[in-house]
Amino acid sequence: MDDGFALYILPGGKVRWLHSDPAAKFAAGLGGVMNTRRASAIEIGPGNCWYADLAPAGGPVLGPFPLECRAEALRAEEAWLAANHLGKITSDDPDEIPLPPLRQHE
């Protein structure tokens, strides 16, 4: 993961982002209450390979990725979350439309 990050602002003011030190520092400066939740996990699994378990975000398990390629598993995890979770509405209101990333910070 690089030092850039995207914030996803959802209707009602909820903000989502992939955790990174720069993103957390920026978000802390916004004030308000933060509730951090795990959306996935990168772990060693069968065959001594890395797997990206996206079940907490309603996704699949990605992999296997060779033991020396943990960064590849992290990139796959980030891409899936950005495409399938971060900007998605989780309420039952079909009229809510997610906004695109508001700000790309680098």
Q: What percentage of residues in the chain have a pLDDT greater than 90? A: 35
Q: Which two tokens stand for residue 86?
A: 């971060």
In this prediction, residue 91 carries a pLDDT of 53
Query: With contact defined as beta carbons under 8 Å apart, do 52 and 40 qualify?
Result: yes
In a domain? residue 30: yes
In this prediction, residue 89 carries a pLDDT of 60
Range of the domain at 46: 5-89
In a domain? residue 31: yes
In a domain? residue 99: no
- Look up residue 81 and give its amino acid: L
Query: With contact defined as beta carbons under 8 Å apart, do 80 and 54 qualify?
Result: yes
Residue 62 CA to residue 80 CA, distance in Å, equals: 9
Q: pTM of the prediction?
A: 0.70
- Give the number of other Cβ atoms within 10 Å of residue 82's Cβ: 15
In a domain? residue 83: yes
pLDDT in tens, 32-69: 777 778 889 999 999 999 999 999 888 999 999 999 99
In a domain? residue 11: yes
State the average pLDDT for the chain. 79
How many structural domains are present in the chain? 1
Q: Is 84 left (phi over 0), alpha (psi -120 to 50) or beta?
A: alpha
In a domain? residue 72: yes
